[in-house]
Amino acid sequence: MFFNLLQPKKIYQSVFEIPFEDLQKSRIRGVIVDLDNTLTEWQNPELSQEAVDWLVKLREAGFQVCLVSNNSPRRVEEVAGKLGLPFVARAQKPRRKSFRRALEIMKTRPEETAVIGDQVFTDVLGGNRLGMYTILVPPISKKEFIGTRLVRIIERLVIERQNRGDS
């Protein structure tokens, strides 16, 4: 059912709270990470030191990492390049194509891949459509694209529904 495709597998208050051991227990080997409002404020070219450290730790824990963003190649490369991370830009999430591209890059199968992002209708929906392990985090900044703001209202309903435990 469509509504189930909008349900993240897990919700955490930030990327920093995601327990890597849980991912490893679920046999996750690759992690697709959204950029805007997941790792950094929308359009902010600088990652915080905390976000950089987190990405480094994620890789050191043995995960393949790929940034997948709907933003422009210039924007995404600015961040990914500094860390030598592979990325897919202008991804048109929730379309599956860019997620498949990330799987190719990381050489992982969907069931061993997690998607971490702040949007139900791009990150969670796209990841769920391929059967990936989806993790939703709240946006780190309120400043964002106007279209996104409207979508947030629906997202809140999805999250409330999940918290009630029905599905």
Q: Which positions touch Mg ion (CB under 5 A)?
A: 34, 36-38, 118
Complex with Mg ion: residue 109 or 152, whichever CB lies closer: 152
CB of 150 to Mg ion, least distance (A): 15
Nearest distance in Å: CB 38, Mg ion? 5
Taking the complex as a whole, the smallest distance from the CB of residue 122 to Mg ion amounts, in Å, to 7
Judged by beta carbon, residue 113 or residue 119, the one nearer Mg ion is 119
DSSP letters along 90-106, please?
Answer: S--TTSHHHHHHHHHHH
- In the complex with Mg ion, which residue's Cβ is closer, 36 or 155? 36
Q: What is the dihedral of CA 98, 109, 19, 118, to 10 degrees?
A: 20
From CA 150, how far away is CA 76, in angstroms rounded? 24
Q: Which residues contact 129 (CB under 8 A, 6 or more apart)?
A: 5, 94, 96, 99
Angle of helix 73-83 relative to helix 49-60, nearest 10 degrees, comes to 60
Considering the complex, state which of residue 78 and residue 109 has its C-beta at the smaller distance from Mg ion.
78
Instruction: Retrieve residue 24's tokens.
Output: 């490893």
Q: How far is the CB of 21 from Mg ion (least distance, A)?
A: 25
